[in-house]
Structure 1
Amino acid sequence: MRNKLKQLTEALLSNDRFLLLSHVDPDGDAVGSLIALHALLERRGKRAVAYDRDGVPEIYRFLRGSENIHSSLETPDGFDAAIFVECPNVGRAGENAAALVEKIPLWINIDHHRDNGNFGHLNIVDPQLSATGELVYEVFQLLQEPLDRMTAEALYAAIMTDTGSFRFPNTTPRAHVISAELIGLGIEPHEIYQRIYENLSKPAALINARAHATLEILDGYSCVTVTRAMLKETGATAEDTHEIVNYGRNIESIEVAVLLREMEQGIKVSLRSKSRVNVSEIAARFGGGGHIRAAGCTIQADMEQARRLIFAEVERALEKSHSASRS
């Protein structure tokens, strides 16, 4: 990985115009990594444009530098390199991503997803890391570029959110070491946590309450449901539902938590697990993906059909994990 990172720094130094892209419906790792990488390139005198099709979610807009992430591009022409951040494949950056980058000669792929397709000309992918923000941090170190408060906050948010505030099994010693160094630069971790996790809007609080009321506790797994009618009645948005799935995982005896959210076309499925089930394998069966303990997909079906399909796969995965533990 050290050699790959050196190749990355060489590519950053030898090119001048960069398009940075991350996945649709961006999370804290995507936003924080984009902010920090954009800032690094601009300080080096490069032209950098950060793009995410869905823009920056409200909960991350307090991060300085988030205003530099755009949800539209005037023209995709004139770039030397496209840098995909936290995208396991080109399509995760949106249905128009391939068209945006088709004329760009160099594609750089920076990620930590296990299902990354290594689609770039240069692939810096390490599934052992807790967050893509860790890779961006290492780029700062290799280039001996000092982190300021803005970039430190962005990278701390990236690591904190992808580790579930350092609770998830993907939390590594290195994640703690990097986070400690970022805190040493003067950031306030409790403020970042509060702005992200303890700052629900009224509609978000209402949709959480409505969703929790749909909770089903099944044999080793749970399910909560959000319908379009519920969103309309509470005034909530899809963004307000992101943390709901974790409610089901917090229950004793539950290994897998499922959130089913009705969309205009299809059902968005979010999956979480505690320790035994690889939910990315479940999501992959429906064209989705993610991490071992956190993944998602979209099923083109109505709610009842989607329930039957996803429940069958979850039950199969749970039985597989039970069989493995007995052998």
Structure 2
Amino acid sequence: MEYSYLGRSGLKVSRLCLGTMNFGPETEEKEAFKIMDAALDAGINFFDTANVYGGKDHPGWTEEIIGRWFKQGGGRREKVVLATKVYGTMQDELGPNAERGLSAYKIRRHLDGSLQRLQTDHIELYQMHHIDRNVSWQEIWGVFESSVNQGKIGYVGSSNFAGWHIAVAQAEAKARNFLGLVSEQHLYNLLQRTAELEVLPAAKELGLGVIPWSPLSGGLLGRNALAGTGSRSARAKEGVEKHRTQLEQYSELCKELGEKEDVVALAWVLSNPAVTAPIIGPRTLEQLEASLRVPEVQLTEDVLKKLDEIFPGPGKPAPEAYAW
């Protein structure tokens, strides 16, 4: 496994990040334990979750599973760079402050809740799951600074931020002599490349590592998409029909390369210099094992050009993508 610094921090993480969103609703606890053990054995030390993962009826379920896995001991907690998120609504909240957001009130409560469910006293990377336009950066950075000073979190990350949100956040942090954001978790894959306009350039310039979520576009870029066995929902099937021509061309290219579609899609994301680690979200141990060799796959310039032809992106960053 290869490792990289997370943004401008001194923290090293694996070039693949284990996403755990399926743990609970899609993957039973016993299988989730096997996946996490296998990930560690393979050198993956970067695990991502969120306080709301577990489904509408059981938010927090995924963190609870991870916490019970940590509780087994064997150095599991010490080997993991743990990332979780705050923003959504949890079942133990009542009244107007139960709404989604990033108030100091909510961040303090949700951080303590995550620590309890995860059965740990600290989280390496605490991420804002979404921007909150109603809260000032003075309030947000104040509570995060306090949490860092208390040792509850090591670093702060963002998720689903626009490029200008990142810029403003970093400027406000610098004014307080605070490190600010070290990462941005963002939607990025061959089918969804708008991040190349603003977010990736901003992250690279301001020292954030990018952690792409849904690098396989919900399975559309997976090995079984065209066969239908990888599409579990009506929405996924609609996506296949919408992009069928592209996906067929893509499948043919992958056959020429002698690689599976999911491996090529992940390798493409990882080839971007702004990217630290794409999030892989296996439902089974077999799916995890299929992704492990991705960091070893090197795509040539010719292959990257062909992928651009099949899945055109904006072409250039903003403003050159749409202005002189």
TM-score normalized by the length of structure 1: 0.26
For normalisation by structure 2, the TM-score amounts to 0.27
